[in-house]
Amino acid sequence: MDFAFILDPLPLLKAYKDSSVAMMRALAGRGHRVFALEPADLCWDEGSVKARVVPLTLTPDDADWYRAGAPVDRALTSFAAVLQRKDPPFDLEYVYATYLLEAAEREGARVFNRPRAIRDHNEKLAIARFAEFIAPTLVTRDPGRIHAFVDRHRDTILKPLDGMGGSSVFRLRSDDPNRNVIVETVGLQGARTVMAQRYLPEIADGDKRVLLIAGEPVPFALARIPKPGETRGNLAAGGRGEARPLTPREREIATTVGPTLWADGLLLVGLDVIGACLTEVNVTSPTCFVEITEQTGFDVAAMFADALLRACA
């Protein structure tokens, strides 16, 4: 079968830790063909969604991990599945790509994660759907409400709804002398919606990435532990990744929300869990395949390939 991956530019992918590369290698290792494209390669032409795609031959060498063939134009319906793996920002161009992919679905293409489901699940705000698992949380543009929340909980986290990798995430205590300017900065003077959450001291033990594949949890999570002096555990912010078996609470969260998210067409989801609380539902390009596999021996990419092939059967 042929699979098309919508990715960031290939030279920017770090094969030694990239989950998309791990997926492609797992599929190629089973005899399937993989193709790459960027969102700009999509088009709607005379009633059909097409793309200029590049066939890839994969190598085991992380420093020189692919050979690209000649580009070719193909209808998205000609692939067994199209996998949307473009990183945020989730801007208007990203939204336009989901519209094109949804049009391809109407023609009969399989797309994972489903474009409508990606649009419907903001990675920060989607936790509101599972409120029984979350910490005290506020979402608002109103600076007055943010200040009241900070006064009530005294130690909080503020973040915009469109960030990734820990960008623009602030820890804010009620007695912080920079409190006003932090609220103004994160909220762009009231022009941007902000999420405020009670600070969870369990972050010291790691911001856990729990992966769901076709609604089923991977049996290991990656605890992303903040470096000294840092609040954020994100690997992009210098956190250290440590794979651990799921705790009973993490498994409870995963097995409760997993079937609902899979029913929506979210083949791959990355839940973020701190302590006993669900903090994010990542649906655009969840990662941590390689780190979990290297540390535990559990082949996450193989589990993903199995689920994808079942979905395409």
Respond yes or no: is residue 209 known to be catalytic. Answer: yes
The catalytic residue among 159, 198, 208, 234 is 159
Length of the chain: 313
124 is catalytic: yes
| Residue 232 is among the residues annotated as catalytic for this protein | yes
Domains of the chain plus CATH, in order, are: 2-119 (3.40.50.20), 136-199 (3.30.1490.20), 202-312 (3.30.470.20)
What is the Cα–Cα distance from 41 to 312, expressed in whole angstroms?
Answer: 24
Q: Is 159 a catalytic residue?
A: yes
pTM of the model: 0.93
Are 204 and 172 contacting, i.e. CB atoms less than 8 angstroms apart? no
The predicted structure's pLDDT at residue 15: 97
230 noted as active-site residue:
no
| Catalytic one of 18, 207, 250, 280 | 280
Instruction: Encode the chain (313 residues) as per-residue pLDDT tens digits.
Output: 999 999 999 999 999 999 999 999 999 999 999 999 999 999 999 899 999 999 999 999 999 999 999 999 999 999 999 999 999 888 999 999 999 999 999 999 999 999 999 999 999 999 999 999 999 999 999 999 999 999 999 999 999 988 766 678 999 999 999 999 999 999 999 999 999 999 999 999 999 999 999 999 999 999 999 877 676 667 776 788 999 999 999 999 999 999 999 999 999 999 999 999 999 999 999 999 999 999 999 999 999 999 999 999 8
Instruction: Please tell me the predicted confidence (pLDDT) of residue 89.
Output: 84
Catalytic (active site) residue 50: no
Q: Which of 86, 224, 264, 291 is catalytic?
A: 224
